[in-house]
Amino acid sequence: MGIFSFLKKKPEPAAAPVLPPRADAPARLSPEADRERQRDIARATAAKIDAIELAMTTDFFDDAEARWGSTRRAPAATAAVLDEPGEVELVTLADEPDAAAAPVAAPVVEESAILYANGQGLLAEQMLRDSLRELGRTERQPWWMLFDLYQAEGRELHFDSIAIDYASHFETSPPAYVNRLPAGPPQGVYAGVAPAVRLGGTLALDAGVRLQTLLSAGDAPVRIDIGGVTGATHDGCAALLAALQGLRRAGRDIVLAGADTLLAVLRPMLAIGERRGGEAPWLLLLELLQLLDREKDFEETAMDYCLTFEVSPPSFEALAQGSNTRVAGSHMAAEQRFMLPAVVDGDVKDLLAAIASYAAIDPAGPVVLDCARLVRIDFSAAGKLHASLRRLAFDERRIELRELNHLVAALLRLLNYGDCARLYVHNY
Q: Are 194 and 221 in contact (CB under 8 A)?
A: yes
Q: How far apart are CA 315 and CA 286, in angstroms?
A: 10
Average pLDDT over residues 409-425: 94
Rounded to 10 deg, the angle between the 379-393 and 349-361 helix axes is: 30
Q: What is the structure's pLDDT at 123? A: 96
Q: How far apart are CA 282 and CA 238, in angstroms?
A: 10
Q: How far apart are CA 292 and CA 286, in angstroms?
A: 10
Q: How far apart are CA 288 and CA 260, in angstroms?
A: 9
Domains of the chain in start order, with CATH, are 195-326 (3.30.750)
**Does residue 263 have a pLDDT over 90?**
yes
Q: What would the DSSP string read from start to end of 344-370? A: E-S--HHHHHHHHHHHHHSTTS-EEEE
Task: Categorize the per-residue pLDDT at 40 as very low, low, confident or very high, splitting at 50, 70 and 90.
Answer: low
Order of strands, edge to edge, in the sheet holding 192-193? 78-84, 87-92, 422-426, 399-404, 367-370, 338-339, 192-193
Among 10-19, 315-324, 416-425, whose mean pLDDT is lowest?
A: 10-19
Instruction: Give the residue, 367 or 333, on which the prediction is more confident.
Output: 367
Task: State residue 269 phi and psi, 5-degree precision.
Answer: -80, -15
Q: What is the structure's pLDDT at 181? A: 66
Q: How far apart are CA 414 and CA 404, in angstroms?
A: 14
Task: Categorize the per-residue pLDDT at 249 as very low, low, confident or very high, splitting at 50, 70 and 90.
Answer: confident
Among 82-91, 128-137, 177-186, 307-316, whose mean pLDDT is lowest?
A: 82-91
Q: Are 232 and 281 in contact (CB under 8 A)?
A: yes
**Does residue 128 have a pLDDT over 90?**
yes
Q: What is the structure's pLDDT at 348? A: 92
Q: How far is CA 162 from CA 8, 41, 253, 260, in A?
A: 11, 27, 29, 24
Q: Are 256 and 209 in contact (CB under 8 A)?
A: no
Instruction: Give the residue, 427 or 73, on which the prediction is more confident.
Output: 427
What sign does the dihedral 404-407-408-410 (CA atoms) show?
A: positive
Residue type, 426: H
Average pLDDT over residues 60-81: 34
Task: Categorize the per-residue pLDDT at 30 as very low, low, confident or very high, splitting at 50, 70 and 90.
Answer: low
How does the average pLDDT of the chain come out, rounded?
Answer: 76
Residues 6+ apart with CB under 8 A from 110: 46, 410, 414
Task: Categorize the per-residue pLDDT at 277 as very low, low, confident or very high, splitting at 50, 70 and 90.
Answer: confident
The percentage of the chain sitting over the pLDDT mark of 90, rounded to a whole number, equals 42
pTM of the predicted model over 0.85? no
Q: What is the structure's pLDDT at 61? A: 38
Q: How far apart are CA 150 and CA 88, in angstroms?
A: 20
Give the residue among 103, 101, 156, 153 at the shortest CA–CA distance from 124.
Answer: 153
Q: How far is CA 279 from CA 9, 207, 241, 283, in A?
A: 36, 18, 11, 6
Instruction: Give the residue, 261 or 64, on which the prediction is more confident.
Output: 261
Give the residue among 384, 409, 378 at the shortest CA–CA distance from 57.
Answer: 384
